[in-house]
Amino acid sequence: MIDNDGGEIASEDIIGKGPSIFIKPKGNDSVDIPIVTLKTDAINTKIGEEVTFTVNSKILSNRPDFKANRIIKYDFDGDGVDDLTTKDDVVKFIYTTPSEENRPFKAKAKVIYREKVGVGYAEPISVKK
């Protein structure tokens, strides 16, 4: 993408800067799709150091049962495998392997509510030995 003053950025660099949502076009209950943001307290860390992840999520319908009935699935290394399933929106994780050089981990959180899924990505995390 190129903006009006000539600045350029690849779309891959934008992904993960904000919440991603998946909309099922069926019915009019799309207001229950979670809007998710995932933040972390460290983008540079070492093996064995604790990293805190915080999920902020909401739904547009503001149903009172959202927080009690949602499930959060964390994938801390971005390999597509859920590392933790919980209701907790603040969790701690310790990396045991380093990220590859120039390929930081891309952590994500999926919030599931009433069979609707919202996804949020953290800033890429570099893990050193």
pTM over 0.95: no
Joined together, the tokens standing for residue 125 give 């995390």
pLDDT digits 0-9 by tens, 36-89: 999 999 999 999 999 999 999 999 888 999 999 999 999 999 999 999 999 999
With respect to residue 2, please indicate whether it lies within any of the assigned structural domains: no
User: Residue 46 sits in which domain range?
Assistant: 19-128
With respect to residue 118, please indicate whether it lies within any of the assigned structural domains: yes
With respect to residue 92, please indicate whether it lies within any of the assigned structural domains: yes
With respect to residue 9, please indicate whether it lies within any of the assigned structural domains: no
With respect to residue 90, please indicate whether it lies within any of the assigned structural domains: yes
What is the number of structural domains in the chain? Answer: 1
Q: Residue 66: which CATH number? A: 2.60.40.10
pLDDT digits 0-9 by tens, 102-127: 899 999 999 999 999 999 999 999 99
Class of residue 127 by CB neighbours under 10 A (exposed 0-12, middle 13-18, buried 19+): buried
